[in-house]
Each structure stands twice: as C-alpha cells, then as structure tokens.
Amino acid sequence: MRFQILGPLRIADGPEVVVLPPSKPTVLLAALLLRPGTVVSVGFLRRAIWGDEEPSSAKAALHACVLRLRKTFAKYGLSDAVIESVPGGYRIAVEPGSLDLVHFRELRARAQAERDPEAELCLLKEALSLWQGPLLTNVPSDLLRRDEMPRLVEERLRTVERACDIELALGRCGQALVELWAVARAHPGHERFREQLIEALYRTGRQADALAEYREVKRYLQDELGVDPGPALRRLELSILRGDDIGPRREAGGTAPVPAPAAPVPAPTDTDTAAGPPPGPSPLAAVSGFTGRAADAAALAGRLTADRSGPTIVVLSGAPGIGKTALALHTARQVEHAFPDGLAAVRMTRDDGTPRTPAEVAAELRQRAGDRPPGPRGLLVLDDVTGADQVRPLLPAEAGGAVLVTSRLGLAGLLAAHGGWAHRLGTLAEEESFRLLAAVLGDGRAEAEPEAVRLLAAACGHFPFALRIMAARLLTRPRLSVAGCVAWLREDPVARLSLPDDPRLSVPRTFTDALDRLDPRLADAFLRVGSAPPERLSVTGAAGLLGVVPSLAEELLERLVDVSLLEEGPAGRYHMHELLRNFARRATGYQAGPPALTTRH
C-alpha cells in the first residue's frame, strides 16, 4: 500500500490506484502526509480543514475526521495505527517506500551526493517521474494551497533546473529543450528557466529563436513586473549577438564544470535501441510522462505477481521503437512493492549495439548491490536481450523472484525450456496515440487542432518513439501548426522522423540498427518483402518474390516474424507495418522493382 501526494491525493494498492474524493478526511490525510513522521499540531489541522470557519465543536469534529480516515484505511487493509494520536496533535507513520514525497526527497539527496553527472541525472529523472499532475486538486484546503504547495512546487522546480543544467553540460541541448519549453511557459517569471531555454536554443544553432525568446522574456518582465532582465540574461544576449562560443555550463555553485563526454549519449526514451560510443550501456530510467498501455501494463503486472510458487519469466517482445523499454520500466515500478528484494534494471547491449555477456551483467548487478548478488526474491528487468543464452545464467532460481525481458526476439526457446509467458507489443491504439501527443503538447494545443493531431499520430504509425520525436519537434517550434507538421512529414514519412540536433533520436537510424543485427540474407528478405505491394503475403507468394523454394520462404518469413519486423495474420498470411514498409522502400532506393535477393550467408 502506498500514498501518492505528488499530484492528486491517491492510495495505491499494487497496480490499482484510488483517487480520494474531496472531503475533510482527505484534507486531514494531506496535512499529515505533507509532514510525514512528525507531529502535526491540532491547531494546524483545524485551520487546514476549516480555515477561518472552525465549528464550535472543532475538537470533536477533528476526532470524527480521524475516525472516518481510519475507516477508509481499514477498507484498504491498513492498520488504525497508521495515524498515531500523540500529545499536541497527530502523526502518520510512513513506512519506507510507502510515500512518494519521501521517495522524491531521498532520490534528490542521493543525486546531490553523486559525483558522476550521468548517475546524478538518472536519479533526478527518476525523482521527477514521481510527479503525476497538478498538486492536491482533490484537497479542498486554502491553507495547504497557500502555505504548503508552493514549497513542494519549488522543490520540483529546483530539481528540473538542476536536471536541465546537467543535460546542457553534457551537450544534450535538444533533450533539455523539450522540458524547458514546458517549464518556461508554465513559469514565465522564472528567469533561470528562460536563461537555460535561450542557451539551449543558441547552442543548437537557432540564434534567431534564442534572440526572439530573449525579447519575449524582456517584454514579460517589463510589462508584468516592471523590471529588466537580470545580469545573467543580459550577458547571454550579448554573447548571442556577438556569436560567442558560450561553452559548457558550470555547476550550480559556479565551481568546476560538469564534464561532457566526447559524444553526447541520449537519455533513454520509449524506444529500445542504443547507439553511440562503447564501452558501457547508458543507464535505464523510467520515461517521464508515460501515457497509455493500460491493458498491456495490467497484463504484465498480473503475470509478474500472480504465481509466486516458483521463479517467473515474462518476455516482452515487439518491433524496434514500439515502446518495450518504457512499458517494462513503468510496469516494474508499479509492481516493485511485491518483490521484497527490490528492483534492478539493466541494459543487455552496449552503446554500440553489441550484446553484453551474462558475466558482465552479473558483475554490474553485484557492484550496484555492494558486491552482494541481487536478492533471490527481486524483480530483474533485462532490456534489449539479443538471445536466450544471455538470459539463462541470470534467471532467478527461487520462488518469489521474477525476470522481465524485453527483446525484439520472441525467445520461444527460452520459454520452452524454462517456462514463462510471452507478451507481443503492438502499436498504440488511436486514442492512446492522441493522448500521448496531447500530454506532451498540452491539452490546449491538442484541442485547437484535434483532427490534425490524429492525422499526425497516424503518420507516425502509432509508434511511441516516432510520436515523441514529432511532439518534441512541435514543442521546439511553437509557431508551427500541427497540420503544417503533418504536411511536412508526409513529404518524407521516414527520414523526417528524426531530431536534427541528435541523430540518435531517429526512426530510420533505429530501424537501420535493427537491420544491421540481422543475418544479411534475412535483411535482404525484409527489404524485398517491404518493397513489394502492401497486400498480405502468402508463403507461395513470398517464394516467388524472394526467388526461393516455399520451404525456405516460410523459414525466412517466420524469422522475420520472430525479430518483430513482420506480422503473421490469419490463414498463414503475413503483413508488414506501413512505417517499416516505408523504411524498406526508402532503403532500396528508387528502383522499378524490388532489389535482388543476395545469396550471402
């Protein structure tokens, strides 16, 4: 059982989350959770609940609120002792991991102690992912809104500010832009965010946009507050006008700079590819603002927690860019409470795409745990597995343990030998795609062009990776209409699914990396099938298309299905997703017919 206060006040029991109705007991609970583990005075609780209109029998009324809250707890299996009556007031007993606010502050403290900027950024992103919307919208208390909420909002803003500082220092200006557009618009008077936004625009080659943003903040400060921009903003404007190389950012304290790697490494998104320089994998972190996939997440959570009589294996497979990593990490966070030895997530490929050995992964897990092996009753997420042999040495051996594997492969051999469950992930539903774009762009922008948003989702093939790329493009081009973006994308529906400031955030690169992992003969078969007309393909038709006997054609088709580049339909027919088909056509050039199938082995 967990309390969630970083958003609407909720009680979570596993994957089930209940938003409490606005009421006086809800106000009482919020007031106690905002000061976890400390005595909250009776006077403060009365003012929080009734404000200036305390009833004459406020003492008895407060006691009645406590009783009602304890009855609510009993309904969810919580003990009456969760709320303790102590001299002077009440205190709520918060167990480790049961309150998101405490977890948020613990992650911030751990991040502050980190010397490695990558590790610090990972912790800050994890902390920010705990925020789930506007604060305490179901808590009707003027006092809490006036005196307590600003403090929490400030904690979040400082965390966002520090995370953006690190991203800028590491050269990830494009990624920082996505967050900075949102927070700078939500908090127009926060000069630090505007400074970071202007710097990110300038360092990504958008000098005109950077100067336009400076003029906008100057106008706002003069018209709304009657003041001029501060010295830092004025110095930044002068540097942009002179075309200076402003270089890497420094630490918030103004001392040593945060070291930037030779080549920027992207923070994980809801794609499942990795690219860049070796030797090690980028850290895994939950995707901020995860949207949709409710049925998939519930199915995975049910399988991971249903049968605890033995070790559990769940394989989540799907096409590159379909969102396996994001769903796996989101689900793992939802069921983490069910695994007493905790949660560990590790990427199974290096940043150059080559597979890691089981011994290398096991050594990393031991190092994380202080040279102790991971607990037997924990949940282990193995991301981007390239074969069953990578997984077998890492499987849990005891009851209560579980492993959640993401892979482009179905890994049927692993499941046949060790048992388990497979879940094939498809594209998002139309409504889920719409909600994802609306969540990133903002409801106002989505509601202004709802039909265009739906057309954009369709043009992205309902692939989460493609949707987030186009949403990021629209965020960094606030004057571009969604309809205009759709028209632009349709001119080249694959190549334009990329972000110009970071080539790793690219659908064609993701698909190319997937193709590079294949046997050359299988890669050629993919290109020929993709270049053919879009009708569903039979084994006989594939044999003629590929120039091979039917038995070999069926083998190639089945292998393409196994690596999630082809889908099997009814009556033994196969089809390819239109986004993958467009990629195959573009990759083969402007040929009159499909390319010849090579005989490489």
Quick: pLDDT tens for 526-572.
988 888 887 788 888 888 888 889 999 899 999 999 999 998 877 77
Residue spans of beta strands (DSSP E) within 229-303: none
Confidence at 197, pLDDT banded by 50, 70, 90: very high
- Contact between 362 and 326 under an 8 Å Cβ cutoff? The reply is no
- What is the enclosing helix (H) or strand (E) of 40? strand 40-41
104-113 as b/e: b if 16+ CB within 10 A: beebbeebee
Mean per-residue pLDDT for 147-152? 88
270-286 pLDDT, tens digit per residue, is 333 333 333 345 445 55
Q: Which of 13-22, 74-83, 213-222, 325-334 has the lowest mean pLDDT?
A: 74-83
Strand 502-506 to 498-499 pairing: antiparallel
Identify whether the C-beta of residue 392 lies closer than 8 Å to the C-beta of residue 257: no
What is the per-residue pLDDT across 126-149, written as a single tens digit (0 to 9) for each? 999 888 878 888 889 889 988 888
Which pLDDT band, with edges at 50, 70 and 90, does 252 fall under?
A: very low
pTM here is 0.53
Residue 318 buriedness (CB in 10 A; 0-12 / 13-18 / 19+): buried
* Per-residue pLDDT band at 257 (split at 50, 70, 90): very low
What confidence score (pLDDT) does residue 80 get?
Answer: 52
Examine the pLDDT at 78 and tell me if it is beyond 70.
no
Can you give the pLDDT at residue 178? 82
- pLDDT for residue 300: 92
- What is the Cα Rg of the chain in Å? 26
